[in-house]
Structure 1
Amino acid sequence: MDERQINYKDFLKYVHEHFAENITLEEVEAILHLEEDYNKDSPNSLGKSLVIDRLLFTGQKKTGESFIFDQPVYQGINVWIADNHKGKSTIFKIIKFALTGADSIKKDIKPWITEIFLQFTIGKITYTCYINRTGRDRGGVYRFSINRFMELRENQKFDDAQKEIEFEFNNQIQFEEKIQDFFFEQFSFYTLKYTQKNSAKDSFEMNTSSLSWATYFKSIYLESSNYEYLFFDKERYGLQGKKIFEMILGLPLTYPINMLNIQMDRVLETIGKKRLIDKTKLEFNKNNEVHLKKRLAEVTLEMKALQEGQKIEFNDRPLVEEYNKLFEKINESRKQQRGVSDAYQKGKNELIACEAELQSLEGDKAKISSEITMLRKRELNIDIYRQSESFFTNLEIKTCPHCEKKVSEDKKKSEVEDHICSLCGEESKEQKVDPEEINEKAKLLEVERSKHEAKLEQIDNTLKKRYEDIEILRKKNAEEYAKSVAFTPIETDSRRLSEIQTEIESIGKQRSKFTDLLNKKDNFIKEEAVLLFQLNEIAKQESQIDSNEMANLNLKRDVLDYALKGLEKKRVQLNKDILSKLQELIINEVHAFGLLSIDNIEISDKYELIFLQHGIAVSFTDLTEGEKLRVKLAFYLSLIQLDIEHNLGRHPRFLIFDSPGSEEMVPKHLQGLSDIFKSINDRFKDKLQIFVGSALRDFSHITDNEKTFIKEEDHFVF
């Protein structure tokens, strides 16, 4: 047996011996049995690495400009240098999408891209991932190069290459599932699970989640937003960072510890629910007990009232007689009041109608008076016209008032016959009005005026009569109003009537209640007996809440806890050599990167990095931003070196650093980071592959010229 494995049967015996008095060996095995072997994990390297060979993608920008990005890449360090927001991160996110199916490309860039080709090599086999983004994502992973893919597509000979198709997909969900299965098989990864408690207060519900290939990829793609964390910002949820670490190293016993922890969480969930149910039962019994005791007290009082009610007389006859007399008196008073009120309202309506008629007559009078005045003005105008016409008709002009020449008889004759003025010689277009016509108009106006004056006289007579009628109505209305307010108020009688009614109803309720009590006497006696029995049963149940089910759950929890502690203790022994080698690699790299203030590094039993800095133990989160970046780089590089130098671990030897150095703006530190990358390239260029994207021009010399892709200022990568 491999020294890094455990004997499953011996482990079962070890756990059973601790609980032999309470459980059988078979029952222990039923609790600890898993679908796969306890020795599933192995830290031994598979000797495989992931190498990207070429990235090609095409599309059309929002401006309508078409683009083709086609770039070969190499082992060692490849660096993209361009200003911020010019497409470096998009390059890395496209690579991530092609390798995981997880699409994090910016929403405004995503519609641009129509096709993606990524050529990569694992071991000695070359693959091409093809994604068509026109509509629903579709494509596949093929065991040949991009050039071969293009050739087959151009010649329509894909049917001849069926054996070289790794898989194909018709939507993104299929792609994510199949690419995960592909890489899990290539690097012997599998899904680790973790539980999370429901966020609702006082809830014991647990949700089970899984670490996907996209999550493990966070140990490859180091995004700028996560440089302050060793893995990523949410790594503490379900201890995801620890689980990534365990998977990348292939630490022995990772699988059984993970699965038994899930079982433990489920048992704790069940215990929590059971306790909640038992608590709910107790609370229900308590509430029920309070209710039963309250009802018992009510029954006792009602039986007592039954005894007391036999001594009470229920005589309401005098009240009924008084009520009837008052009721008749109030009705008669209200009837008289209604008669007077109706007479007053009728007179008021007549007065309103008469006043409205009066107002209408006054309006008619004003209109007719206005018409008469207008007619008189027209008569006056005709009279004035008639007088002026007579004056000018009898006037004879003998001499021109301007030149004093005499007007000849011929001109006078022409004026009469031809209407040509004897003075100015102009022909007159206007004809003189006939005096008879004027007299006729005057007579018509006089007749019309006389009619209006007669009408006005008639309206004046009617108005006089209406004013007299209104005066009479007002006096009559005042008399009716005086009668309506002279009635004696009935409020006192009404109040007394209400009091009598309340007293009669009270006596009626007492009589009814007593009658009901008499009818329910036997029921009260039976109900009292039932209530006493139920209260006695509740008292018995309170002592029986802790059931056998809870005892079995607690035993299962203790078995799992003991087994987990034993496995974790064993894993510390099995992994001591692996972790010791990794610690040594990390501290060597940290010192090589200039962090001499860190004296030593330890990996705790919980797989957390502990740094001894100036003699004080600190965690990763306690380091400065510049220290975090160097330590993170040293950590991931050491994971790869563990594979290269000791054939341990399963890291694909491929890293993406997006915008490192954003916190390293001090020239001295920036130069140090540049030297680090240059040193890595010199030492490991044929044994790993690292992509670096940065806006810092200082990184332009960290690798070979053919691996350096520099864009001028303000130019896009694609």
Structure 2
Amino acid sequence: MADEMALETRIAARAKVSVDDVQTVFESQGIPLGVPPARPRPLRIHRLRVAGERTGALEPGEFDTTFRFGEGLTALVASNLRGKSSVLELVTWCLRGTPREKSGAIHWLREVDLDATVAGQAMAFRLNLESEEITSAIALSGPDQQTLQTRRSPDPTHGVLPLFRAASSESYAQQVQALMMQWLDLHPLVSAKEGAAAVSHGWPAYYGALYMPGARSPSLLGDVAMSGLPGRLLQVFLDLPAAAVLTKVKTHAALMSTARQRRQTTAKAAQAERSEQRRQTEDDLAAALARLEQLTQGAGGSDQESLADLAAATVQFATVVADSQQAWDELMRMHREARAQRQRDEKLLNDVRESAIARRLFHGLEPTTCPRCDQSFAAERRQLELQEHSCAVCARSVQGDNEAPEDVLAEAEDRVKASSQAERLSREALGQAERELDRLSRDLRTAQDRLRRADAAARVPEYAQVREEVLRLEGALSVLPELPPSSDDPAEELAIKVLRAGAKTLEDDHAKEADRLFADLNTEISDLGRKFGFAGLESVRIDRAAHLRVMSDGGHERSFSDQVPGERLRLRIAVIVALLRVGAAHQVSTHPGLLLIDSPKAEEIQDVDIHLLLEELNAVAEANQLQVLVTTADFDLAHDVLPSDSIIEAAEGKPLW
């Protein structure tokens, strides 16, 4: 609590507000005032079981295969296209919520079980599959791995309890991602680009730092290079003070500031436009009054009084007619909408009579634009919905309906009846308004005729015209008041001031802690890079944005993205191991310590280099509490580097599972 109060006090002093103001702003934005040091977040996998029925020419039939993983480096060895990468994807599906990409072999699977330890808690993930989709799944917690490994359902008598259940792939993904964020003490990474809506990145973004991306990816850490995510991952894994909180504070401040600026710009433009409208109207009114004064002075006294009365009456009639015309216009609009609705309902009735797909989609939503980007759906997609049975929104195939078509037809017919009734009522109201408008128009014409006959003088028509213009301009001025200056919302002003001060204060805390950690991190990355076979590496310099500058070959400096694929792989692994080492030395919670690497030899690494990389990675993994799964099709390589109990292999040409 003392640390939180110290942060509040520093932010209040910087913003020149009270501590209560700081607390109120942070609470209103849903942002915690500082976060205690993260809990340790180790993640280990122990057992993967896959069961199903293989089809095709290669060893068809039932299978039930179990893989066990120990600490350190484990190699998955098999010929190409024999299930090595699938193991990594199945582990990813269980832990991440979705596989990074589905292999063709997944359709063979009926059951997938994964046993893991998440931040010290024994957990089991049990997936039941059909046609490459989850039909049911459950996550279990238990007292230990031995108790969990034989169970696929809760067993309260032995302490095996459910953490969540899911009935679909989407539900499983959502729930496992929330579970991992909670147990690994992680917070969403929020970002906003150029004042756009905030985007929140969760567990899948963090998981990108566990499953190495392809060597040609430009991202040093994780598999998403945009929105500054590599830098945010680095800050979280180094446990820099409230890294996720800083991101939220900066994002909220940017969004609020942009919204205020846009509002102010819009208000200023509206003020300028209104002022110009009033100036022009006032000039026109002054000219009309001057002309009216001239006409009044030139007319006879008693005649002029009668003329003025008739002119006023005519203007009054004109106002009533204008109001009636406006009412008729509104009723005409409503009638058109009712007629269009009736036409749509009749078309829908015809569709559900002729198409099972239309009946299936009858109760669905009818969006006209994409709910994400607001772009309108092309007419072709609506046509394809009926012709090729593909949803106009997601383009997936839609099967026929299961409910009785009579119910759908009856409801569609009821809609037609209701919209037809609404159209009839609107037509009747429109007719009545039209008759009233005709009556008032006749009255106006009568008044105008009387006005024209009131005085034979040539000035009468002009007088009436000018008088009408004066009244019109006076009315226009009355509905064009000066717009008040754009006033700032005091609460918004306070929030922006406090959030900006909070961002600067947290940035200062980050910079202080970064100075302490990054020198050690640079040294560790350089040492590890050389051990992993980057022979010409002299030194590296990494910053809080995860930008890595590499000095090699006699002081030549290049960025990480300028390195060849093999060197990128070495540097990525070096960064993960360095995070673990620096974290251990400074007693901060860092990377979960699980690393998945698919076919490192394919990343333009020579045979001698890959031997050196795996030998050093094996030694580093054992020394730094790092669990690594690596795949390879090189049987000799695995046996040259690792003991047999660290190798999971299939006979050459045979499937791994």
Give the 3 Å change call, closer, same or farther, for CA 604–528 of structure 1 in structure 2: same
**Mapped partners of 1:574, 1:19: distance in 2:** 23
Residue 336 of structure 2 corresponds to none
**Mapped partners of 2:563, 2:250: distance in 1:** 31
**Mapped partners of 1:556, 1:126: distance in 2:** 43
Whether the 8 Å contact between 2:537 and 2:550 is mirrored in structure 1 is yes
Deviation (angstroms), 1:17: 4.1
Residue 89 of structure 1 corresponds to 85
**Mapped partners of 1:28, 1:147: distance in 2:** 50
Deviation (angstroms), 1:146: 8.2
Alignment pair present for 1:655 and 2:650: no
Residue type of the alignment partner of 1:212: G
Whether the 8 Å contact between 1:252 and 1:575 is mirrored in structure 2 is no
**Mapped partners of 1:10, 1:150: distance in 2:** 47
Helix, strand or coil for the counterpart of 1:190?
coil
Give the 3 Å change call, closer, same or farther, for CA 534–54 of structure 1 in structure 2: closer
- Residues 528-571 of structure 1 deviation map (CA, whole Å, 9 limit, x = unaligned): 44556778x54xx4xx534243x775564344323322321122
Whether the 8 Å contact between 2:84 and 2:656 is mirrored in structure 1 is yes
Residue 107 of structure 2 corresponds to 111
- Residues 209-267 of structure 1 deviation map (CA, whole Å, 9 limit, x = unaligned): 32322221111111336654212453322x22222222222222324422321321232
Deviation (angstroms), 1:35: 5.5
Give the 3 Å change call, closer, same or farther, for CA 275–674 of structure 1 in structure 2: farther
**Mapped partners of 1:712, 1:514: distance in 2:** 112
Give the 3 Å change call, closer, same or farther, for CA 605–190 of structure 1 in structure 2: closer
**Mapped partners of 2:614, 2:182: distance in 1:** 31
Match of 2:526 among 587, 591, 605: 587
Alignment pair present for 1:40 and 2:41: no
Deviation (angstroms), 1:163: 4.6
Residue 52 of structure 1 corresponds to 45
**Mapped partners of 2:68, 2:52: distance in 1:** 18
Residue 504 of structure 2 corresponds to 565
Q: Which has the higher helix share?
A: 1
Give the 3 Å change call, closer, same or farther, for CA 40–558 of structure 1 in structure 2: closer
Alignment pair present for 1:625 and 2:541: no
Give the 3 Å change call, closer, same or farther, for CA 702–38 of structure 1 in structure 2: farther
- Residues 664-697 of structure 1 deviation map (CA, whole Å, 9 limit, x = unaligned): 25x3xx3213212112213433732111113445
**Mapped partners of 1:260, 1:146: distance in 2:** 40
**Mapped partners of 1:148, 1:13: distance in 2:** 50
- Residues 617-665 of structure 1 deviation map (CA, whole Å, 9 limit, x = unaligned): 5432232322211111111122233345554333221100012232325
Whether the 8 Å contact between 1:127 and 1:141 is mirrored in structure 2 is yes
**Mapped partners of 1:528, 1:598: distance in 2:** 81
TM-score (norm 1): 0.59
Give the 3 Å change call, closer, same or farther, for CA 608–260 of structure 1 in structure 2: same
- Residues 34-88 of structure 1 deviation map (CA, whole Å, 9 limit, x = unaligned): 7575442426x73x63322221111234547433332222222111233444332
Whether the 8 Å contact between 2:96 and 2:177 is mirrored in structure 1 is yes
Give the 3 Å change call, closer, same or farther, for CA 209–274 of structure 1 in structure 2: same
Residue 359 of structure 1 corresponds to none
Match of 1:186 among 161, 183, 186: 183
Match of 2:64 among 54, 58, 68: 68
Match of 2:612 among 650, 659, 675: 675
Residue 639 of structure 1 corresponds to 579
Residue type of the alignment partner of 1:207: A
Residue 626 of structure 2 corresponds to 688
Residue type of the alignment partner of 1:132: N
Helix, strand or coil for the counterpart of 2:192?
strand
Deviation (angstroms), 1:519: 4.1
Deviation (angstroms), 1:144: 6.6
Residue 208 of structure 1 corresponds to 198
Whether the 8 Å contact between 1:41 and 1:254 is mirrored in structure 2 is no
- Residues 357-402 of structure 1 deviation map (CA, whole Å, 9 limit, x = unaligned): xxxxxxxxxxxxxxxxxxxxxxxxxxxxxxxxxxxxxxxxxxxxxx
Alignment of 1:153-192 (within 5 A): 158=155, 160-161=157-158, 163-192=160-189
Residue type of the alignment partner of 1:192: L
Helix, strand or coil for the counterpart of 1:649?
coil
Give the 3 Å change call, closer, same or farther, for CA 95–304 of structure 1 in structure 2: farther
Alignment pair present for 1:31 and 2:25: yes
**Mapped partners of 2:634, 2:287: distance in 1:** 86
- Residues 87-142 of structure 1 deviation map (CA, whole Å, 9 limit, x = unaligned): 32221111011112124442744432211011223576543211111462322224
Whether the 8 Å contact between 1:128 and 1:145 is mirrored in structure 2 is no
CA RMSD across the alignment: 4.0
Residue 210 of structure 2 corresponds to 220
Residue 195 of structure 1 corresponds to 192
Helix, strand or coil for the counterpart of 2:590?
coil
Alignment pair present for 1:235 and 2:234: no
Aligned length: 491
Q: Percent identity?
A: 17
Whether the 8 Å contact between 1:674 and 1:698 is mirrored in structure 2 is no
**Mapped partners of 2:291, 2:637: distance in 1:** 95
Stretch of structure 1 that moved more, 80-89 or 256-265 = 80-89
TM-score (norm 2): 0.64
Give the 3 Å change call, closer, same or farther, for CA 163–681 of structure 1 in structure 2: closer
**Mapped partners of 1:675, 1:247: distance in 2:** 30
Give the 3 Å change call, closer, same or farther, for CA 532–140 of structure 1 in structure 2: closer
**Mapped partners of 1:113, 1:305: distance in 2:** 97
**Mapped partners of 1:49, 1:12: distance in 2:** 31
Deviation (angstroms), 1:188: 2.3
Helix, strand or coil for the counterpart of 1:136?
strand
Match of 1:525 among 461, 470, 488: 470
Deviation (angstroms), 1:597: 3.5
Whether the 8 Å contact between 2:48 and 2:67 is mirrored in structure 1 is yes
Residue type of the alignment partner of 2:37: S
* Structure 1 portions without partners, runs of 5+: 198-203, 311-510
In our comparison, the structure showing a higher alpha carbon Rg is: 1
Helix, strand or coil for the counterpart of 1:545?
coil
- Residues 303-335 of structure 1 deviation map (CA, whole Å, 9 limit, x = unaligned): 79999xx9xxxxxxxxxxxxxxxxxxxxxxxxx
Whether the 8 Å contact between 1:303 and 1:524 is mirrored in structure 2 is no
Match of 1:261 among 227, 244, 250: 250
